[in-house]
Amino acid sequence: MPRLLHLLTAGLALASSLAVPAARAADPVLLVTSPVALQAAEKSGAGFGRWFDVPMAASGIATNQALARAPAWQSIANPLKGSLAALQRRDPQAGVGIARYPHRIFDARWLASPDAFFELVGVANRMDRRPFQPGACGETRLVYRLAYRSAAMQSRLPMTVAVELRGDAPDADGSCASAARRWQPPQASMKDEALGHWLVSADGPLAPPRLAQARIAQVTTNLQSVRWPSAVRPDLGGHAEYLLRAFRWNAGTQRFDAGPLENTPDVAKLKADAPLRKALLQWLQQPDTLRALDSATVRIPDRFLATESVSVAPRGLERLANRPFEQLFAPGDWQPVPGSRTLQSPQAVLRRLDDLSCAGCHQSRAVAGFHLLGLDRRGASRTFTTGNALALPHSPHLQDELARRERYVKAAMTTPVPDPFRPLAAPDDESAAPEKATVGASCEPTRITASADPWRDRAQKLPRTAATTCEGADSVCEKTSVGFPGGMCSGACDPKDPNGTCGGIAILSDFNQCLAAKQPFGDCLSKHTRPGNLRSCSAQKPCREDYICAQAEGQPEGRGACIPPYFLFQMRVDGHS
């Protein structure tokens, strides 16, 4: 199989499973996820420690123990610890560990552990963010993920930190053609390590001046704050919450200050302050605002915004907690906007607003609350473990987004101001034909009764129909109550099934007891799984909502099998030690 760069370029969607011809040298890079390329960039100056003035090893890695001594990192870690402590005070059933607590929270000790570190898992060209960065050609984003290596085990953890950097200033003619060309690699067939070195070279998009503290627009964090297993929430197949925060660099104090979350309203404050809520509604109803809303370039003033948000899974936008604007406004507050692309009804206006909020975005065709988690590659990833590896580094939404970003960057080379329009992350497609109940399909229809308090959400079972009855005499419906949201059609491994692949299904009770006893993850996996037919997946064939594309034995790189995300050890906060 020809080498795959895991370099997304204009004209090339990320498809880690396919052997594709090399991109043309003239095609700008959109996304880099190759572990080899990213580790080379870390060694050459793009390591996580640089943002907090922490010395790094030759590998470009700084331990979290070293980070914890840095005031700049403390200014981020301490607010996160405060949010987790507040969650534990509010929920007496929440705590660290499997054995004692039914609601398992993120162990804040990882943020200062000598075994833990943040590794670079993605570099993203976000020139399309120009409308949000006045005076700059969009953004560059470096995404880091929390991981650890100890004597007992190694894994990544469900936490990312994104450093968002302002791009170069526009050219004299107001265009961003020079910035677009900056993302063009010098050769069409650069090896991954060479690509990483080029990124941070004097001619690359991550040249030292472009990694200066003054370039930081903000740092955003996303972590799984708590997970309830399916035994606790059998109607939903489990419940997880993701804490979202943003921090801005303060050059005067050399610290990060908590900042507002883009286009994410402070629901509690606005509900308690009727005049403020009215002011937000009036601002949003202005014609200029509605035009910006339609194109996805609206920038809601800071005074209306939250500094902390929580997204919840599973069931995405069916959960009211992921739709903050629907909590604040009724459809009757809005009118259709003639000539718009996304605001054709009052309900569509609310849908667009929620789509642009942090919670709404992170639960729209996401991977359990994330859009970029990094590539797991045997022999290259620092924490690769068989049975605990993603087949794809990104979400279905990001996969589709790349085509839009490609058009924008290519247009920036010839057009002063390209069209920044972004469609909905998860469009409502009522005309779509019902999915056949083949392997991987939903087989337990339910209706969500949603509340602003996600702990009170309930899933009511609906009668099973022909469309939700699994096809095949030997098929079975894996139940929501044991961790398969919406149920999942499966059965015995069938090598003749064109839609399936043989994979391991955890026997949850035994598997969790094994982890609670602090046994090595690999031992628990080998002893407490059973084979089953799972839906095969790739970048072009994504899993359905609330499922993740995991590596499966015998599948080539970039292809895998769909399983619930929390069956993958790296996607859950509990069981790590």
pLDDT of residue 13: 36
3-state secondary structure of 284: helix
Pair type for strands 94-95 and 103-105: parallel
pLDDT of residue 434: 66
pLDDT of residue 187: 85
Round the CA-based radius of gyration of the chain to a whole number and report it.
23
Going 567 to 568 to 569 to 571, the CA torsion angle's sign is: negative
Q: ω before 314 within 30° of 0 (cis)?
A: yes
Q: What is the DSSP letter of 549?
A: E
Q: What is the DSSP letter of 106?
A: P
- Summarised one tens digit per residue, pLDDT across range 277-336 is 999 999 999 999 999 999 999 999 999 999 999 999 999 999 999 999 999 999 999 999
pLDDT of residue 504: 86
H-type helices in 393-500, by residue range? Answer: 396-412
Q: What is the DSSP letter of 329?
A: -
Pair type for strands 488-490 and 500-506: unpaired
Which is nearest to 242 in space by CA: 347, 160, 344, 355?
160
| Cα distance from N-terminal residue to C-terminal residue, the chain | 37
Question: Which helix (H) or strand (E) is 126 found in, with range?
Answer: strand 116-126
Nearest-5° Cα angle at 385, 76 to 232: 65
- Angle at which helices 287-295 and 274-284 pack, to 10 degrees? 70
- Summarised one tens digit per residue, pLDDT across range 353-364 is 999 999 999 999
Question: Which helix (H) or strand (E) is 511 found in, with range?
Answer: helix 508-516
Nearest-5° Cα angle at 186, 185 to 190: 75
103, 574 contact by CB (below 8 A)? no
557, 538 contact by CB (below 8 A)? no
Per-residue pLDDT of the chain (577 residues; tens, 9 = 90+): 333 334 444 333 333 333 334 444 458 999 999 999 999 999 999 999 999 999 999 999 999 999 999 999 999 999 999 999 999 999 999 999 888 999 999 999 999 999 999 999 999 999 999 999 999 999 999 999 999 999 888 999 999 999 999 999 999 999 999 999 999 999 878 899 999 999 999 999 999 999 999 999 999 999 999 999 999 999 999 999 999 999 999 999 999 999 999 999 999 999 999 999 999 999 999 999 999 999 999 999 999 999 999 999 999 999 999 999 999 999 999 999 999 999 999 999 999 999 999 999 999 999 999 999 999 999 999 999 888 999 999 999 999 999 999 999 999 999 999 999 999 998 876 555 667 889 999 999 999 999 999 999 999 999 988 888 999 878 999 999 999 999 999 999 999 999 999 998 888 778 878 877 878 777 887 788 889 999 999 999 999 999 999 999 889 999 999 999 999 999 999 988 7
Which is nearest to 450 in space by CA: 322, 352, 345?
322
Spatial neighbors of 178 by CB under 8 A, at least 6 apart, are 168, 171
